[in-house]
Amino acid sequence: MSISSTDSDVVAERTVQDLYSLKVSPIASDSDVVRTAPSPVCCHNEAHRKFSIKGTKFQIVNCTKCNLGFLWPQPTIDEIHSFYPKDYYGDGGSKFSSIIEPLVRMIGARSAWFVARSIRRSGRVLDVGCGRGITLRALAEAGYETHGFEVSKHALRGIDSRVQVIVANSLKKRQLTRSTTLMVS
């Protein structure tokens, strides 16, 4: 594994239990349109409010043009760090019980299969928000050159040694080439 850390990690105050206890509630009306940052899919900047997250300022909204769902307002890097405390990722690359973890890896392998269908054999893949690198591991096993981008170094405990990872607060410093397939997970 190759890890490059370009920004300091922020210590999160929440625990995993705190994250899972946040109540997400549907917003009754679809008619409430808010102005947002441009959608990364279609660049449109209006969205319908779909869900509120109790105890936070955040909502989940859907773009009125492409229907992409995303968190609004966009969180700061410190807020993103607070969403994923150190214990969120588990130990040594395994997060779930011995029954669930193989299923998670199977889903990662299936995601890798879908990605692999769209790119040339032995191509380069960058997974933005790679977390524990489950999908990248499956792509590496299939012969792809795998790169990950993650904001938390804690996610990388136990990541496959074939995955090259950059830990940073911004993707702006990452040099992409036309031969890199970008995947957001």
Question: Domain map of the chain by residue range?
Answer: 2-9+91-184, 16-83
Greater pLDDT, 75 or 97: 75
- Residue 4: its pLDDT value, please? 41
- Phi first, then psi, for residue 64 (nearest 5°) are -70, -15
Q: What is the pLDDT of residue 17?
A: 60
148: nearest Cα among 168, 170, 133, 138? 133
Of the listed ranges 9-18, 51-60, 134-143, 167-176, the one predicted with least confidence: 9-18
Q: What is the mean pLDDT of residues 73-88?
A: 84
5, pLDDT greater than 50: no
Q: Residue 5: beta bridge partners? A: 167
- Cα 109 to Cα 131: distance, rounded to the nearest angstrom: 15
Contacts for 163-166 with beta carbons within 8 Å, 24 or more apart? 163/1, 163/2, 163/130, 163/133, 163/136, 163/137, 164/1, 164/2, 165/1, 165/2, 165/3, 165/4, 165/130, 165/133, 166/3, 166/4, 166/6
Average pLDDT on 102-110 reads 87
CATH superfamily placement of domain 2-9+91-184: Vaccinia Virus protein VP39 (3.40.50.150)
| Residue 139, both tokens | 């792509």
| 68 neighbors 62 (Cβ within 8 angstroms) | yes
pLDDT in tens, 118-152: 888 778 888 888 988 999 999 999 999 999 999 88
pTM flag (> 0.85): no
pLDDT for res 1: 45
% helix, strand, coil for the chain, step of 5: 25, 25, 45
pLDDT recorded at residue 180: 60
- By percentage, how much of the chain surpasses pLDDT 90? 26
